[in-house]
Structure 1
Amino acid sequence: MKVLKLTPFFHHPDVDSWPAAYDSVGGMQIQTWRQAVWLAQKGINQHVMTIGFPGLPKQRLLQPFLSVECLLLPMLHIPSEFSGLIGLTQSWALATLAALFPKRRKHDFDVVHIHLDGQIPALLVACLAPGLLRCPLILTVHCSRLAVYTPHSWLDKVQHRLAGWLERKAVSSALTVVALTQRTASQLIDDARRVEIIPDVVDTTQFAPPPQEAITAFRKHHNLRRKTVGFVGRIAKEKGWKHLIPLAQALREQECELLIVGDGTQRDRLQHGIDKAGLKEWVTVTGFIPNHEVPLAMSACRLIVMPSAYEEFGGVSIEALATGVPVVAFAVGGLPEILRGITPDLLIAPEDTRALIARVQAVLAGHHSQSIAPDRLRAYVKQRYDPSVMGAQILSLYQLALSNSTRPVRR
């Protein structure tokens, strides 16, 4: 079996730095990579077509059965606060379709698996690519226009109706649609032939409490000297970074500090807000760090905050819980489905900065010590978000697609 994976965003684990303009941090990148690695380890041959950045080879074998091809048309490097570079995903979509067009009569793919980020370019690829290749289509919806997406610019609002129409069209043409949450599945069920709920996963061998000496070294490297609250993710409007400024001000009053792990196109705005509020000595921004260092960063914190405007799933939450670190989050998207089962008191009404600060202060004061015991958090994640269970579900969908295909299958 050979699977073609089309995704604008995919984690490149073999790099130690990643330009923020090319969307360096995100749950979709990590999840598409984790899934591909698990399937490759099971002998499923996959070819990934995704966005690269300067310095990455155009095509490489990440490991046996997993090849990655980076595709972009030549483009002007015009910065954008919302997409990194203006035209980035459009360039990928056009380059991908151009690369697939010559293969329409002769190729060796059995299944096309497309990962949707909620933007029009990937939706267009989902509508056009399966017809070119005449292969069964599986869609994973990492961000649904119909269920959770909130437009964040005037242009985005103009495009929102078209994007929703394209999502319905893509969903209706797929053999199976994979949703990350029950909320999104319920929105897509009327348009889809088949919907499966397969949430994001976390590798609990990687995301586990690190040795204390490693945590101490990380804290020393980043000059962390006080009780620390953490934020992990893209520095983007939808991740709610503006709530971090008043949070840091409140933490300063308690002699606590804020660690921001990640990068993004609005990092300069964040830094300006930090400087304007006189918080330079109380907030540390690491920028991009390799994925294998994220458990260290999380373990250096007493808790992680997620003040997102919207989240399809909220993968950072299960990574933190797997590391034994509690999460205080706005109740948006998939976060209630995750946290209500383990720490419901740490869910906050969306956009309520005061309540977020109060709950963070309560955790720091030890008021939730029983519910946030590290072993309890970790056991919860291992039971519900193990890669082997979710990977087996994806594999069964591939096998179902093969049984519905008229193409001869390579074993």
Structure 2
Amino acid sequence: DVPLVTTIHATEAGRHQGWLPEEMNRTIHGVEHWLAGESGRVIACSGYMRDQITRLFDVPAARVDVVPNGVDDRAWHARPRAVASARARFAGDGPLVGYAGRLVYEKGVQHLVRAVPSLRDRHPGLRVVIAGDGPYKDELVDQARRLRLDDTVRFAGFLDSTQLPAVLAATDATVIPSLYEPFGMIALEAAAAGAPLAVADTGGLAEIVEPGVTGVTFPHSDPDALAGAVDQLIGDEVFARRLARRARNMVSERYGWATIAARTAGSYSAARREHGSFQARRAAALLGGGRSRISIPEGNLLAMDGAVC
């Protein structure tokens, strides 16, 4: 009989903006609910996820610890020659805007593509590099073609850890336009690489990037606001580089693996220390009313009780 600690980085409801459209989605949600309830401690990657876990799964906030993801910032420091090579490969005569991540609907890349025509009008020679792959790629390629962006937007495919740091460092702005983002690992990686950040003000991203200090933000699903945020960076290189320096320092100070490991160990220690009392409470609840059935309400789970998706 050992304590159970569960780390939850995302929820099925969150991935679908609060909805559980199919029976499989409802089944996954039910398993998540059961697992969170059985755990002496739950680790969430952000305050946003902590709030989602407590609301969706009826877990007391006192049992949820926020431990962010970590990053080895040194692994994201590219050599100047590699950065220059990436710039030569992807940039044109103007600014270079980048995105890196999975190509799925909730990452919001469609809103970045939609913002490109206005950015290109303001900044002749602008290029956009989209690094990554996923089931939404074909739709994004079609969208870029319909907007006549074939010469402006380049889909680079998956770039591994030997290539991506240099590409991120070569950008004048790296955009993270997610609709749903429990944490936002790419924000740490891009900041560690030295890229100026423009991120959607949503989920864990809002906890990483401080507007005007370590990056710029915009409301998700708003291409005009996204374009305005990117324009702040590529229109003022001094401002952009100042933010990038602060963001890089922030990553090394707050998100180094030694710090994250210590916080994780603290959660496991608390679970072990509290295991006896947690088991006693569970036993008393079972004796009092038996094992309760997990009830999954209809509708948008993240729009109930004042929650937002």
TM range (shorter): 0.7 to 0.9
Q: Where does residue 182 of structure 1 map in the other structure?
A: 47
Q: Secondary structure at the match of 2:69?
A: coil
Aligned 8 A contact 1:324 1:373 in 2: no
Which structure 1 segments of 5+ residues have no match? 1-133, 407-411
- CA shift for structure 1 position 157: 5.7
Q: Which amino acid aligns with 1:229?
A: V
Q: Secondary structure at the match of 1:140?
A: strand
Aligned 8 A contact 1:299 1:323 in 2: yes
Equivalent residues in 2 for 1:395-410, closer than 5 Å: 395-398=265-268
Relative contact order, higher structure (CA 8 A, sep 6+)? 2
The 1:187/1:248 distance shift into structure 2, 3 A limit, reads closer
Q: Which of 133, 138, 141 is equivalent to 2:8?
A: 141
Q: Where does residue 167 of structure 1 map in the other structure?
A: 32
Aligned 8 A contact 1:342 1:380 in 2: no
Q: Where does residue 110 of structure 2 map in the other structure?
A: 242
Q: Where does residue 153 of structure 2 map in the other structure?
A: 283
Distance in 1, matches of 2:35 and 2:73, equals 33
1:355 equivalent to 2:216? Answer no
- For residues 86-134 of structure 1, what are the alpha-carbon distances to aligned partners after superposition, in whole Å with 9 as ceiling and x for unaligned? xxxxxxxxxxxxxxxxxxxxxxxxxxxxxxxxxxxxxxxxxxxxxxxx6
Q: Where does residue 72 of structure 2 map in the other structure?
A: 203
- CA shift for structure 1 position 195: 1.5
Distance in 2, matches of 1:347 and 1:370, equals 13
Q: Which amino acid aligns with 1:305?
A: V
Aligned 8 A contact 1:235 1:266 in 2: yes
Distance in 2, matches of 1:155 and 1:188, equals 16
- For residues 331-373 of structure 1, what are the alpha-carbon distances to aligned partners after superposition, in whole Å with 9 as ceiling and x for unaligned? 1111111112763771112211101101211211107717834
- For residues 348-404 of structure 1, what are the alpha-carbon distances to aligned partners after superposition, in whole Å with 9 as ceiling and x for unaligned? 122111011012112111077178343322111111111111112223444555678
Q: Secondary structure at the match of 2:96?
A: strand
Q: Where does residue 330 of structure 1 map in the other structure?
A: 200
Distance in 1, matches of 2:42 and 2:265, equals 14
TM-score by length of 2: 0.77
The 1:373/1:315 distance shift into structure 2, 3 A limit, reads same
Larger strand proportion, structure 1 or 2?
A: 1
Equivalent residues in 2 for 1:258-269, closer than 5 Å: 258-269=128-139
Distance in 2, matches of 1:149 and 1:212, equals 38
Which structure 2 segments of 5+ residues have no match? 277-309
- For residues 11-60 of structure 1, what are the alpha-carbon distances to aligned partners after superposition, in whole Å with 9 as ceiling and x for unaligned? xxxxxxxxxxxxxxxxxxxxxxxxxxxxxxxxxxxxxxxxxxxxxxxxxx
Q: Where does residue 305 of structure 1 map in the other structure?
A: 175
Give the CA RMSD over aligned residues.
2.8
The 1:381/1:341 distance shift into structure 2, 3 A limit, reads farther
The 1:227/1:341 distance shift into structure 2, 3 A limit, reads closer
Q: Where does residue 251 of structure 1 map in the other structure?
A: 119
Q: Which amino acid aligns with 1:355?
A: A
Query: Identity percentage over the alignment?
Result: 26
Q: Which amino acid aligns with 2:70?
A: V
Q: Which amino acid aligns with 2:74?
A: T
The 1:370/1:257 distance shift into structure 2, 3 A limit, reads closer
- For residues 292-337 of structure 1, what are the alpha-carbon distances to aligned partners after superposition, in whole Å with 9 as ceiling and x for unaligned? 3221110110111111111001111111112221211111111111
Distance in 1, matches of 2:47 and 2:149, equals 40
Aligned 8 A contact 2:118 2:227 in 1: yes
Distance in 2, matches of 1:295 and 1:370, equals 18
Aligned 8 A contact 1:259 1:285 in 2: yes
Aligned 8 A contact 1:151 1:157 in 2: no
1:296 equivalent to 2:162? Answer no
The number of aligned residues is 270
Larger helix proportion, structure 1 or 2?
A: 2
Distance in 2, matches of 1:232 and 1:293, equals 12
Distance in 2, matches of 1:395 and 1:158, equals 36
Q: Secondary structure at the match of 1:369?
A: helix
Aligned 8 A contact 1:183 1:334 in 2: yes
Distance in 2, matches of 1:222 and 1:370, equals 20
The 1:135/1:150 distance shift into structure 2, 3 A limit, reads same
- CA shift for structure 1 position 194: 2.2
Q: Secondary structure at the match of 1:291?
A: coil
